[in-house]
Amino acid sequence: MMEKLKSKNQTHFSKGSLINIRPGNYLRLGETNKSKEGPFRKFEDDTSAILVDYLGSHPGSDVGCWTVYAKNELLVIWEDQVLQNEITT
């Protein structure tokens, strides 16, 4: 069963969904000390990713935080880094 979550900003996100994330720097999870690039992964272009787990949101914020799998890495993103019109379920 796909778990659908609805953040306070009324956007639907589902675990396992294919999304596109904006260019930018994203925190890596796992063995960041072994990466020569440091704890952040930089994407120059829109990048496909799969939503893995909802982590929550900051108190008082309506933007949720997720782990995603992109380019063979587990990363942390915020919902406002997702290209909203590109979400597919």
Who contacts 13 (Cβ-Cβ below 8 Å, separation ≥6)? 4, 5, 6, 7, 19, 51, 54, 64, 66, 79, 82, 87
**Mean pLDDT value across residues 40-45:** 95
Q: Report domain extents, the chain.
A: 4-86
For residue range 14-26, what is the model confidence (pLDDT) as tens digits? 899 999 999 999 9
Please check the confidence at residue 50 and state whether its pLDDT lies above 90. Answer: yes
Spell out where 35-72 has E strands: 40-43, 47-57, 64-70
Backbone angles phi, psi at 67, to 5 degrees: -95, 145
pLDDT at residue 6 is higher than 80: no
pTM of structure: 0.76
